[in-house]
Amino acid sequence: ETNDVKCSHASTVGPVDEEQVFYLESRGVPTEIAERLIVAGFFDEVLEEFPVATAVPLIAAAIDERLDAGVNS
């Protein structure tokens, strides 16, 4: 008997939660910054679990660049 293992990966892409954006806006945070904070928070959770700690700063910098490009466009 062999122990076959099958793995799959799924991802979801969608808009930022409007309720989260509204909450931050109600506290004076501009919409674009609110969206960036929410997305950055998601990635922070992922990076905390990333198995190669030495790669995390490089990945975080690349994410920041992309988020900054989105905010400034």
Structure tokens at 24: 């931050």
Q: Please list the pLDDT of the chain residue by residue as tens digits (73 residues).
A: 555 655 554 556 678 889 999 999 999 999 999 999 998 888 998 899 999 999 999 999 999 998 888 765 5
Look-up of token digits 């900054």: 68
What pLDDT, on the 0 to 100 scale, is given for residue 14? 76
Rounded CA gap, 13 and 4, in Å? Answer: 30
> Is residue 47 classed exposed, middle or buried when 0-12, 13-18 and 19+ CB atoms within 10 A define those classes?
middle
Structure tokens at 65: 């660049």
- How many C-beta atoms lie closer than 10 Å to residue 27's C-beta? 8
